Amino acid sequence: MKKIPKQEYTAEFRELPIKRVKDGLTPGAAAKELGVNHQTLHNWIKAAATGKLGSAGNKVVAPEQMELSRQRAENVRLSVSVKS
Residue 36: partners with Cβ closer than 8 Å, 6 or more residues away: 9, 17
pLDDT of 1: 56
Q: What is the pLDDT along the chain (84 residues), one digit of tens a residue?
A: 556 556 678 888 888 888 889 999 999 988 888 888 889 899 999 988 888 877 555 455 677 777 787 788 788 778 766 665
Helix (H, G, I), strand (E, B) or coil at 71: helix
Strand blocks (E) in 1-84: none
Q: How far apart are CA 48 and CA 21, in angstroms?
A: 12
